[in-house]
Amino acid sequence: MAIEVEKEELSIAAAELSKALPDVVVADSVVPEAYVWPKEELAHVGHDEYAGDDEIPVIDLGGLNGDLDETRRREICDRIRVALGSWGFFQVVNHGVDLALVERVQAISKKFFELPLETKELIDCTFEEDRLLGYGFLVANKDRTSRRSWSEGLFMDSPHVALYSSTFWPEDHDIQTEFSEAMEEYIKAVGEFAIRLFRLILGSLGVDYPVTESERFLPKEPALIRLNHYPPCPDPSLASGLVPHYDGNLITILHQGDVGGLQVMKDDQWHAVRPHPGAFAINGGNMLQAISNNLCKSALHRAVVNKDEDRYSLAYFVQAPNSNGDQVAPLPELVDAEHPAKYHPFTWKEYIASQVVNIASQQIISHNALEYFEVK
């Protein structure tokens, strides 16, 4: 299955995806028309309307960095399997990433979003090597005049961190260093955690490769992070912080701070994800759904806004498995006569191209581009 898209078309798509949001940043008492969502598409659930008895599982990874005994490891893997199979999401605590570092990154991210809009817009969103980089935000469809997201974001990978910090603070070396060091340390620490996490996910699928084998699946290029800012909104029941979407990548590791807003679709209902101090919310993206032959679900999710508080989140995206031209396909261990492959082999480039096809055909971004590769 080949979906070919020229580089130029990708750039056009990036422009479609990347409109910055001046009205949100300066909005006062009304929600501008372009941000008002049709009632039937919004299904409003408040940012802190937690279900109590039906919430995404919180898994304690304590001991993971030390000698985790086999029984404990199995327990954790079992919980991960159930969570990814039913929710596509779980939260982790005691993950081993230094919480002081997470705080530093949250603080410097806040400083970035406080910059004037013209400064933030010095780095416009573009596609570089199949990745979206820069300042802007996702829109729900090609028609940018409606259904905008009530938020702003900065997409970055490690090779761009220093360039971005010197562009945003050209005169101030201290803050440049503060930004670059915090981001680089965060990308490294969360990247190391991602390897441990991915081995647990493979273990949860009953595929226990040796370390080097399992690392073979992880992308060779740097991970992508996105800093998100959701300003308070005069009427959260009319607007959407981040449009409902599926993540295309392998795994996302999200820190949502202490203000709730992340919501996950399960059984046709939106469920608010309760912030836990220091926790990461983990979700499997479309690539994980494909290599797990649908044992892990890639769930539709969104962010909602609130009336009173700014909300900041940090999303770390482990990109595609073997995405350097190699093919993505259900793991051979998970395919047999009773469980035939649910996807044709495809490349990350083809997947990105299928997303562009979605956008070009005016499909809202919440359409799942993985469908193009299903075995019918």
Ligand X SMILES: O=C(O)CCC(=O)C(=O)O
- Tell me the catalytic residues: 311
Q: Closer CB to ligand X, residue 134 or residue 261?
A: 261
273: number of Cβ within 10 Å? 26
Residue 366 vs residues 137, 243, 245, 351, 355: alpha-carbon distances, Å: 15, 8, 4, 15, 10
Hey, what amino acid is at 12?
I
Q: Which 8-state DSSP code applies to residue 44?
A: -
What is the Cβ-side half-sphere exposure of residue 262, based on CA atoms within 13 angstroms?
A: 26
d(C-alpha 16, C-alpha 12), whole Å: 6
Q: Closer CB to ligand X, residue 169 or residue 246?
A: 246
Q: Closer CB to ligand X, residue 316 or residue 373?
A: 316
Q: Which two tokens stand for residue 343?
A: 């996807």
Q: How far is the CB of 17 from ligand X (least distance, A)?
A: 12
Residue identified by tokens 């605590």 is: 93
Q: How far is the CB of 213 from ligand X (least distance, A)?
A: 29
Residues that bind ligand X (CB under 6 A): 226, 228, 242, 247, 254, 256, 261-262, 301, 303, 313, 315
Q: How far is the CB of 288 from ligand X (least distance, A)?
A: 15
Q: Closer CB to ligand X, residue 199 or residue 255?
A: 255
- Beta strands 89-93 and 58-60 are parallel
Q: How far is the CB of 279 from ligand X (least distance, A)?
A: 12
| Burial track 248-259 (b if 16+ CB lie within 10 A, e otherwise) | bbbbbbbbbbeb
365: number of Cβ within 10 Å? 22
Q: Closer CB to ligand X, residue 207 or residue 247?
A: 247
DSSP states along 60-72: E-TTTTS---HHH
Q: How far is the CB of 87 from ligand X (least distance, A)?
A: 14
